Chain A
Amino acid sequence: MHLIVFILFAVFCLAGAVNLLLQTHPINSALSLIVVMTSLAVLYLLLGAEFLAAAQVIVYSGAIMVLFTFVVMLLNAGREERTLGSKAAKRIGFPAVVVILGVLSTLVLHVEGLGNAGPDNPITTTEDLSRVLFHELLLPFEVTSVLILIAILGAVALARKGHGDHEPDNKSAQEGTVAK
């Protein structure tokens, strides 16, 4: 049962990713990315990471991708024009990318001893996760949040520069998009 669901959503995920690259219209690409992220959430769920799955849907599919589509709509971006890439790039480039990715992933899996998780993993509850995050990894967690805070402040400062100080309403809207 788990295996069937896994294969189904893995196929969805890959199909979405390929579609993302092939589509010429930005909004179709954005929608394919939503499919990829949502099927990733299902895969997380199968691995027993329920909180991560929910966070993936809420944050990535629900908030960040809304901003993507928002920007596409706002700019009303048109179709992408196909460029005629050189044949050499197509013939050598794609196999080269596949080989490099394959080597890298096998290396990482071997060195780190990862790759043990399977569809029958026990469920990691939200409580376990928060215990790890807020007890054992408290310092890295806090450092990361400071980093994100700095990024937000930087983005707000940059956004402010272009507009001048006469548009308070615009600013708050941008703060909103950045903070997400």
Chain B
Amino acid sequence: MTILEFILWSLLKVAVVTVVMLLGIAYTVLLERKLVGRIQNRWGPNRVGPFGLLQPLVDGAKSFLKEDLVPQGVYKPLYLLAPILSLGCALISISVVPFGEPKIGPKGLDLFSISNVNIGLLVILGVTSMGVYGIALAGWSSNNKYSLLGALRASAQLVSYELALGLSLVGVVMRAGSLNLRVIVEQQSKLGIASWNIFGGFQFVAFFIYLIAAFAETNRSPFDLVEAESELAGGYNIEYSSMKFAMFFMAEYGNMINVGCVATLLFLGGWTSPFGDLISPPQNILAHALFPIMWFVLKVFCFLCLYVWVRGTLPRFRYDQLMNFGWKWLLPIAILNIVATSLWLAYR
């Protein structure tokens, strides 16, 4: 494959994945509004299109058409940079996520992941850890007390929970012996659901630590202290309007999807079927290509529903509870999980 072909294929993959990701973000918002509506015994959006399905498009048009205000007291360069940084980091992580069978495609081309990197997992962690600057800078540059409080909370919270998040993944990495996401998934593919890391790999403790830490990383309820409406009136994004506000909103949902993808890859067997080799893969090349993607999307979808369910159920943590929980419970349990997993791997 020549370098020109490589660049063209890469551009094509990037374009397709970005469009799908943005659509996914838009419809995750709708999913959340619908599900939370049902949890709270009301209908949710149901006016625009059948079942309210066109609501995201209308919302998008609305935020584009609104006036773009820049308040006087803001520090302009960073105020403008912050939403770009937020959304950029949310969209970049998907570039190392593999979402389908590797060996389908012309000339040995990896059609179902933008790039296959040796250190894929670390790339995702690195990009996520850069994402906090979007929120921190937005809060600081807005020159507003509530924003600043939100930004301070975000920085402290993300640094604290990142540690537990990273350590919870070590068990999975030890089992696979690689940081490559494809290798990690293929290691779970044999027996279907029985060899997923969460069940067969005995990483369920790690899964729950990851789940909790990921909720905190994405600033979602019950860890949404960063934008706690009742205390900070919206937090870091209070001075933002129209599309800039929408970019923060999209970044939040993009991060949710990323977290769902990582959880699927690391704990739920990625694109492999839950029946493993019990059902032999279909002979038809199209079905062979599409079934794995369907499983992947289905798993991520279930994860997103879990997100919404938790949001509709749990009240918000208090700040000191958040810190205590992260440092005194999650972190030690994550370390214990690493010790237990390494003992198990050594004396198996």
Interface residues of A (CB under 8 A from B): 27, 31, 34, 38, 50-51, 53-55, 57-58, 61-63, 66-67, 69-70, 72-74, 76, 123, 125-127, 169, 172-173, 175-177, 179-180
- Establish whether residues B163 and A69, one from each chain, have CB atoms under 8 Å apart when the complex forms: no
Contacts of A125 in B (CB 8 A): 118
Interface residues of B (CB under 8 A from A): 78, 118-119, 122-123, 125-126, 128-130, 132-133, 136-137, 139-140, 148, 151-152, 155-156, 158-160, 162-163, 166, 177, 179, 319-320, 323-324, 326-328
Q: Please name the residue on chain B nearest to A25 by beta carbon.
A: B75
- Establish whether residues A169 and B126, one from each chain, have CB atoms under 8 Å apart when the complex forms: no
- Establish whether residues A66 and B133, one from each chain, have CB atoms under 8 Å apart when the complex forms: yes
Q: Please name the residue on chain A nearest to B325 by beta carbon.
A: A172
With contact pairs A34-B133, A70-B136, A126-B179 given, residues A62 and B119 touching in the complex (Cβ less than 8 Å): no
With contact pairs A63-B159, A66-B136, A69-B133 given, residues A54 and B323 touching in the complex (Cβ less than 8 Å): no
- Establish whether residues B326 and A176, one from each chain, have CB atoms under 8 Å apart when the complex forms: yes
Give chain B's interface secondary structure class.
helix
Give chain A's interface secondary structure class.
helix
- Establish whether residues B148 and A63, one from each chain, have CB atoms under 8 Å apart when the complex forms: no
CB distance from B149 to the nearest CB of A (A): 10
Contacts of B326 in A (CB 8 A): 176
- Establish whether residues A175 and B140, one from each chain, have CB atoms under 8 Å apart when the complex forms: no
Closest 6 CB pairs of A and B: A62-B129, A54-B122, A169-B320, A57-B126, A70-B155, A176-B160
CA–CA, A73 and B155, complex, Å: 10
Contacts of B129 in A (CB 8 A): 57-58, 61-63, 66
- Establish whether residues A50 and B130, one from each chain, have CB atoms under 8 Å apart when the complex forms: no
CB distance from B341 to the nearest CB of A (A): 16
- Establish whether residues A27 and B78, one from each chain, have CB atoms under 8 Å apart when the complex forms: yes
- Establish whether residues B323 and A172, one from each chain, have CB atoms under 8 Å apart when the complex forms: yes
Contacts of B126 in A (CB 8 A): 54, 57-58, 61-62
Contacts of A61 in B (CB 8 A): 126, 129-130
By CB atoms of chain A within 10 A, which of B122, B152, B163, B326 has the most?
Answer: B122
